[in-house]
Amino acid sequence: MGHLTRLPLTGLRPGPLSGACVLPPPPPLHCCGQSPAPLQLHPPVRPVPPPLPPVCGIAIFLRCWSATLRDEPRLPTSTVTVTPDRSVFTGETVNLKCVIKSDHSNWRYEWYKDSVILQTSDRYTVNRDTLTIRGATESDQGQYWCKGQRDGRPNSSTSSSRYLSVKDKPILTVKPQSSVFTGDTVTLSCDVGSSTRWTFHWRKDSNSESSDDAGTKTISSVRVSDGGTYECRAQRGEYYTHFSDAIQITVRVRPKPVVVVQPDVRVFRGERVTLTCDIQETGVWSERKEKLDESDEEKIVKAKY
């Protein structure tokens, strides 16, 4: 808020109309520290009921106050940037930088985590506009924000914040499920959140298999030998995450349905015939039937898991 200057209100007197404010021709005034300028009243002076002629002085005061607010410079804005990313893993080094958009210099920076001011310690380093977290842990997750202070005007900046997410390891998922049959397609996904610039490493039964930048591993037409325990981890620069929790993939030979006809495959007209699709495998199976012709005889076309 601007500085307000009390203005001399000498010379006020009731005018010819009852309660009117009449000011003598004023000399140039220093309005709230501004350069001398002819005094202009906004709104124009109107008659007011006596005994309130000082309302003229109020108009002058508000005029100066509003002019000061218009001339008051806005506070510079600050922005927090995070390297390597706002989502990191335990053990990584994180740098947060406070960028103040201003033509002024000599800023002093203050860093906070969840409203607690941060000082240099064995894990935190506060170096002017940069806060460094070494060997991040899950307890470092939270809201970080900064602001600037300086001598002179403007003497501070607006505050800005960023949320830092710290995870222990990637999350491994499998689709459509971990128990499949030969010939199926299986997709493994190594989830590190919204972070980018990762290389993903896969291993099966503790043996390294492959690496990619996509974070997914697809096995088409799986075989029994593809079954096993799968894990993944991610790499960014020289940093490696811990391995994910393992997922056990089980691959079984796809069973063949057997159609059983009762009482026999050869019957006489008028007999009741029951056809059963027999699948020697656990799970939920569905049947699809089609009529052979206009009679009530049916056949099992396909069994689907």
Element containing residue 62 per DSSP (H, E): helix 55-71
Q: In this predicted structure, what is the pLDDT of residue 48?
A: 47
Give start and end residues of each alpha helix (H) in the chain.
Answer: 55-71
Q: In this predicted structure, what is the pLDDT of residue 117?
A: 92
Q: In this predicted structure, what is the pLDDT of residue 167?
A: 94
Tell me the C-alpha distance between 70 and 63, whole Å.
Answer: 11
pLDDT over threshold 50, residue 9: no
* Tens of pLDDT, residues 141-197: 999 998 888 888 878 887 788 999 999 999 999 999 999 999 999 999 999 987 778
CB 124 within 8 A of CB 140: no
Once rounded to an integer, what is the mean pLDDT over residues 258-274? 86
Closest CA to 183 of 142, 226, 143: 226
> How far is residue 133 CA from its own chain's centroid?
20
CB 93 within 8 A of CB 134: yes
Closest CA to 165 of 80, 79, 88: 88
Contacting residues for 176 by C-beta, under 8 A, at least 6 apart = 184, 186
Q: In this predicted structure, what is the pLDDT of residue 153?
A: 82
pLDDT over threshold 60, residue 62: no
Q: In this predicted structure, what is the pLDDT of residue 282?
A: 55
Tell me the C-alpha distance between 221 and 252, whole Å.
Answer: 12
> How far is residue 196 CA from its own chain's centroid?
14
Q: Where in the chain is the domain with CATH 2.60.40.10?
A: 77-167, 171-252
pLDDT over threshold 90, residue 228: yes
Q: Does domain 77-167 have CATH number 3.60.21.10?
A: no
pLDDT over threshold 90, residue 240: yes
The CATH class, in words, for 171-252 is mainly beta
* Tens of pLDDT, residues 182-221: 999 999 999 998 777 899 999 999 998 889 998 999 999 9
